[in-house]
């Protein structure tokens, strides 16, 4: 009996993986089409609709990956969280520092280079820390790679910062792969096939838009969106192409957190805390986690209200504060590896 039923059960699981990959392919294809066709409008709509919800679900996921008692990971997490908040606060204070010190272009470049150096050093320290805790990993190359990046950073600080903008959406794909390996290993082949489509779609975007004229308009919002995509750094490259590429990657990032992660982590239903280790420590901790999630949900609603009231300002503030969740992905990804 078992020799008959087991293969059929195993055969049913990859079909679900194929369904997930199909949904992600459909989302990526639609995102590429809309990003190439109307990048500014698509950027405005996606940030408005998905920025808050994806941050909330991302925080909910990270709670499931925090152990109830940190033990030997205590130092790692304390250093990680300290760096996350310190780097975000320093980044958010740049406008005030610039006004106080009357920075010119050189001052801004120096400030960005200092911040990038601190970020690279923080990541390298976390990599080495995690390597010592996991003897199966030999990440000794982190030190020379970090020094190389720091040297390049002082030559081209804005390029390093722009690299973070474009690499960040891809980190969600790595986290999803680790989650699949942990909970749904049978789905990974279908997911890996899905990943192959991403460079194909990017290639189509670049082939179609490499010589596209600059995006029309001269509003402050359009300028903010194009600058965020790197038009002020990557001179000679179509702003249409840059915004389309960045918006496409951001939509893929949102799709991972809003669609793929909830489907993969069926036990990650937002209203169920059985899989949140810290919520199992005591009743006090459980109510603290519930309170934290409710506060996050309220912030998401307030964010929507502010977007409706003053979209350009809210977008600027959001992407400044959102650096916190970008940095937060680093220690959780290292722990998953």
Which pLDDT score is estimated for 14?
A: 65
Query: What is the rounded (10 degree) CA torsion for 207, 210, 48, 306?
Result: 170
Q: Residues near 203 by Cβ (< 8 Å), separated by ≥ 6? A: none
Which pLDDT score is estimated for 309?
A: 92
Query: What is the rounded (10 degree) CA torsion for 282, 283, 284, 290?
Result: 110
Residue 195 CA from chain centroid, whole number: 16
Cβ–Cβ under 8 Å, residues 206 and 241: yes
Q: Residues near 267 by Cβ (< 8 Å), separated by ≥ 6? A: 274, 275
pTM, two decimal places:
0.86
Q: How far apart are CA 101 and CA 82, in angstroms?
A: 26
Which pLDDT score is estimated for 199?
A: 92
pLDDT 10s per residue in the chain (337 long)?
A: 333 434 443 444 467 677 777 888 888 999 999 999 999 999 999 999 999 999 998 888 888 888 888 888 888 899 999 999 999 999 988 888 877 777 776 777 888 999 999 999 999 999 988 888 776 777 778 889 999 999 999 999 999 889 988 988 888 999 899 888 888 888 888 888 888 899 999 999 999 998 888 888 778 888 889 998 888 888 888 999 999 999 999 999 999 999 888 887 655 566 677 778 888 888 888 888 888 889 989 999 999 999 999 999 999 889 888 888 889 989 988 887 7
Query: 10 Å Cβ neighbour count for 32?
Result: 24
Residue listed under structure tokens 């964010």: 303
| Domain residue ranges of the chain, discontinuous segments joined by + | 17-336
């Amino acid at each position: 009996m078992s020799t008959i039923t087991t293969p059929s059960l195993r055969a049913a699981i990859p079909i679900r993986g194929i369904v997930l990959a199909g949904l992600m392919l459909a989302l990526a294809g639609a995102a590429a089409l809309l990003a190439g066709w109307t990048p500014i409008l698509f950027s405005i709509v996606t940030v408005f609709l998905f920025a808050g919800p994806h941050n909330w679900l991302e925080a909910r996921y990270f709670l499931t990956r925090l152990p109830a008692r940190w033990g030997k990971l205590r130092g790692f997490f304390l250093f990680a969280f300290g760096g996350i908040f310190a780097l975000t606060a320093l980044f958010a204070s740049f406008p005030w520092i610039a006004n106080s010190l009357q920075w010119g272009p050189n001052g801004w470049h120096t400030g960005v280079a200092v911040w990038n150096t601190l970020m690279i050093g923080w990541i390298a320290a976390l990599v080495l820390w995690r390597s010592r805790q996991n003897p199966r990993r030999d990440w000794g190359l982190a030190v020379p790679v970090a020094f190389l990046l720091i040297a390049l950073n002082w030559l081209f600080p804005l390029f390093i910062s722009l690299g973070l903008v474009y690499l960040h959406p891809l980190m969600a794909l790595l986290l999803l792969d680790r989650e699949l390996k942990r909970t749904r290993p049978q789905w990974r082949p279908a997911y890996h096939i899905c990943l192959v489509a991403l460079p194909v779609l990017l290639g189509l975007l670049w082939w179609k838009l490499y010589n596209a004229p600059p995006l029309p308009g001269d509003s402050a919002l359009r300028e903010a969106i194009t600058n965020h995509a790197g038009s002020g750094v990557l001179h000679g490259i179509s702003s249409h192409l840059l915004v389309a590429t960045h918006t496409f990657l951001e939509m893929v990032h949102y799709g991972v957190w809003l669609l793929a992660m909830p489907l993969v982590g069926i036990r990650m239903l937002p209203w169920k805390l059985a899989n949140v280790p810290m919520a199992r420590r005591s009743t006090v901790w459980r109510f603290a986690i519930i309170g934290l999630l409710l506060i996050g949900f309220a912030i998401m609603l307030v964010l929507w209200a502010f977007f409706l009231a003053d979209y350009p300002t809210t977008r600027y503030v959001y992407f400044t504060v959102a650096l916190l969740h970008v940095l937060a992905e680093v220690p959780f990804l290292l722990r998953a590896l």
